[in-house]
Chain A
Amino acid sequence: MSSAEVLQGGLDLLAVALLALGIKGLSKIRSARAANRLAASAMGLAVVGLLINAHPTAVTWIWIAGGTAVGGVLGALTARLVPMTAMPETVALFNGCGGLSSLLVALGVMLAAKGEGLTPSLLVLISVGLSVVVGAITCTGSVVAMGKLQGWLTTPGWMMRRWRHGCNIALATGVLMAAVLTVVGSSDALWPLVIGASLLGIGLTLPIGGADMPVVISLLNSYSGVAAAAAGFVVGQRLLIVAGAMVGAAGLILTQVMCAGMNRSLTAVLFGGALGVASAGSKEHSEYTNIISCSAEECALTLEAAERVVVVPGYGIAVAQAQHTLREVARLLEKHGVAVTYAIHPVAGRMPGHMNVLLAEADVPYEQLKEMDVINSEFPATDVVLVLGANDVVNPQAKTDPDSPLYGMPVLDVQEARTVFVVKRSMGAGYSGIKNDLFERPNTSMLFGDAKQVLSNVLGELKVLGVGQ
């Protein structure tokens, strides 16, 4: 073993330790930021170790620099410019590129072997097959997930029919056959394998409803770890295998946690299709009666007289970019002596934890964010609940109506509070298209309009009342 090899081995070991500590640290708020940097530096160390040992030639350096410059600059720009509301899409995009990279590496190794007239060993061929299949599914699946979240793609009608399962099974069989042929040594099967797996990624992701997309992204994130581990087997690098396996396993756990939060099983998410489409007919068209609508002035008066206010933010406030106005309202109320907290449903926003990020962006201290299990027992002692752009997560039907498609989903029991204000654009249905009984309750008042506009009106009224001055 040369000294460069020993050095690389040492750096790799250090990198594995740092990566593990990084993932561990990312699960605690205090250490998360430092842990992220730790993981980033671990990757840097691994690259240094590899380059020391590989002695790249001048030509090689040029190609390395080119790829690094383009990928690095675009990555940095994307990370800096993308709005926080688009975080799930961004993770999906990055993830897809990781999968594509594993796929390309596997193809490259096959091309290299073909060029030298060598037949790779069986184990390498198996790894190549795995890397290609998982990499391609991750790549196209992530792109579809991103397109759906951005609203660029909708599920075509025929995709909702049952025979889409037939299509996917046929595709999967084709992919399996191509994989077997590739492993047996027929290099002609490689391109059909790439194309088949890419189509399978689309076919599996496209029918899944927008509300379930975060779970899919988390799962695809786990897949990209598996793809990285497979690529590690292809080129024979232990560090890739460890890191890929860690990400793959951690991603699976996170996916499970998310499913639990939505009361959906992973199977239902993956194979059930979009929620509510089949059952929407029964509830969607039922008319609302006894809706009480009120003005910003009334809302401000009630807030002023309250002692405990709970805000339930939904994705709607992020769309309206109202989180900053919301923070202003909360600041005035706090100065006035009102206790303001935020009830965060596990799937508020478009991804678990997404709403926390959006509120943090508006300077809301994270101590004021309460998880569902904690806040649900506090609603009976709450004076005012302000529901902003949230709908399904505050639907009492989920607990009362066994026929409802939402039945069983964990919800926030806002109806237990003395007064509930719901800020909403119109009486239109929520994401799932299901009627919300909350709006008809006698203690619920509706404030119609754009969340940001309504909040600025309330803010204005509070100032007129002299609250917090």
Chain B
Amino acid sequence: MDGFQEQLWVLLLGSLLGLELIGKVPPTLHTPLMSGANAISGITMLAALTLITRAGEDSLLLSLGSVSLGFALFNVVGGFLVTDRMLAMFRSGRKRSGGSR
């Protein structure tokens, strides 16, 4: 029960942190932020890994864990890379086209 109570505290504090972190976001960053946060939600890959490591020799569980890991990693790898691709495009104009006006 103690472990569970501790987990509830973690849930509460994590939620409050999440509410505080996104205060004022410029609209430019809404899409990248959503995509980045989405990549983080792929953290279930840790649960999938745990499932695999606890599965022992049970091949049904191993394959279920592996499929689950694959989906989570698709989310994580794809999410972070696509966010990076978007953010790489935001460059300041002053550096490249200074004096063009």
- When the two chains form the complex, which single residue of B22, B30, B82 contacts A79, counting CB atoms closer than 8 Å? B82
Question: Are B85 and A79 closer than 8 Å at their CB atoms?
Answer: yes
B10 proximity list for chain A (CB < 8 A): 238, 241-242, 245
Question: Are B101 and A254 closer than 8 Å at their CB atoms?
Answer: no
For A232, give the chain B residue with the smallest CB separation: B47
* Residue A334 interfacial (CB < 8 Å): yes
Question: Are A97 and B82 closer than 8 Å at their CB atoms?
Answer: no
Chain B interfacial residues counted at CB < 8 A = 90
B45 proximity list for chain A (CB < 8 A): 43, 47, 101
For B81, give the chain A residue with the smallest CB separation: A79
* Residue A442 interfacial (CB < 8 Å): no
Question: Are B90 and A254 closer than 8 Å at their CB atoms?
Answer: no
For B37, give the chain A residue with the smallest CB separation: A247
Residue-wise interface mask of A (86-124) relative to B, using a CB-CB cutoff of 8 A (1 in contact, 0 not): 011011001101101110110111011001000000010
- When the two chains form the complex, which single residue of A33, A112, A238, A364 contacts B7, counting CB atoms closer than 8 Å? A238
Q: How far is the CA of A71 from the CA of B72 in the complex (A)?
A: 7
* Residue A380 interfacial (CB < 8 Å): no
**Interface residues of A, dominant DSSP:** helix
A-side interface size class = 35 or more
Question: Are B34 and A360 closer than 8 Å at their CB atoms?
Answer: no
Give the residues from 42 to 86 in chain B that come closer than 8 angstroms, CB to CB, to chain A: 42-55, 57-58, 60-86
Residue-wise interface mask of A (216-239) relative to B, using a CB-CB cutoff of 8 A (1 in contact, 0 not): 011001001101110111111111
For B57, give the chain A residue with the smallest CB separation: A59
Given contacts A105-B44, A235-B50, A253-B22, contact A244 B14 (CB under 8 A): yes
Residue-wise interface mask of A (245-258) relative to B, using a CB-CB cutoff of 8 A (1 in contact, 0 not): 11111111110011
Question: Are B37 and A240 closer than 8 Å at their CB atoms?
Answer: no
Given contacts A75-B73, A253-B22, A366-B90, contact A227 B44 (CB under 8 A): yes
A76 proximity list for chain B (CB < 8 A): 77-78, 81
A59 proximity list for chain B (CB < 8 A): 57, 62
A115 proximity list for chain B (CB < 8 A): 58, 61
Question: Are B74 and A50 closer than 8 Å at their CB atoms?
Answer: no
Give the residues from 326 to 340 in chain A that come closer than 8 angstroms, CB to CB, to chain B: 331, 334-335, 337, 339
* Residue A70 interfacial (CB < 8 Å): yes
- When the two chains form the complex, which single residue of A35, A39, A79, A360 contacts B77, counting CB atoms closer than 8 Å? A79
Q: How far is the CA of A234 from the CA of B68 in the complex (A)?
A: 15
A98 proximity list for chain B (CB < 8 A): 38, 41-42, 44, 71-72, 75
Q: How far is the CA of A27 from the CA of B90 in the complex (A)?
A: 13
Question: Are A239 and B49 closer than 8 Å at their CB atoms?
Answer: no
Given contacts A37-B84, A101-B68, A366-B93, contact A241 B100 (CB under 8 A): no
Given contacts A47-B45, A246-B18, contact A78 B78 (CB under 8 A): yes
Question: Are B43 and A43 closer than 8 Å at their CB atoms?
Answer: yes
Question: Are A46 and B67 closer than 8 Å at their CB atoms?
Answer: no
* Residue A26 interfacial (CB < 8 Å): yes
* Residue A54 interfacial (CB < 8 Å): yes
A176-184, A277-285, A350-358, A385-393 - interface stretch: A350-358
* Residue A154 interfacial (CB < 8 Å): no
Q: How far is the CA of A360 from the CA of B91 in the complex (A)?
A: 8
Q: How far is the CA of A91 from the CA of B51 in the complex (A)?
A: 26
* Residue A72 interfacial (CB < 8 Å): yes
Q: How far is the CA of A466 from the CA of B50 in the complex (A)?
A: 67
Given contacts A241-B11, A250-B19, contact A26 B36 (CB under 8 A): yes
Residue of B21, B55, B83 ringed by the most chain A CB atoms within 10 A: B21
For A251, give the chain B residue with the smallest CB separation: B37
- When the two chains form the complex, which single residue of B26, B53, B79 contacts A54, counting CB atoms closer than 8 Å? B53
* Residue A63 interfacial (CB < 8 Å): yes
Question: Are A254 and B34 closer than 8 Å at their CB atoms?
Answer: yes
Give B51 Cβ to nearest chain A Cβ, in Å.
5
- When the two chains form the complex, which single residue of B24, B52, B86, B100 contacts A64, counting CB atoms closer than 8 Å? B52
B89 proximity list for chain A (CB < 8 A): 357, 360-361
A68 proximity list for chain B (CB < 8 A): 69-70, 73
A227 proximity list for chain B (CB < 8 A): 41, 44
Q: Offer 20 A-B interface pairs, CB within 8 angstroms, sorted by A.
A: A19-B40, A32-B90, A36-B87, A43-B80, A46-B46, A50-B46, A70-B70, A75-B77, A80-B81, A91-B79, A101-B44, A104-B64, A228-B42, A234-B47, A241-B10, A245-B11, A246-B15, A257-B30, A352-B27, A353-B30
The 6 closest A-B pairs by CB, nearest first: A365-B93, A249-B18, A245-B14, A75-B78, A71-B73, A67-B69
Apart from A225-B37, A231-B47, list 12 A-B contacts with CB within 8 A.
A27-B24, A40-B39, A72-B74, A74-B74, A95-B41, A98-B75, A112-B54, A238-B10, A251-B34, A254-B33, A339-B101, A369-B28
Residues of B bordering A, CB below 8 Å: 3-4, 6-7, 10-19, 21-55, 57-58, 60-94, 96-97, 100-101
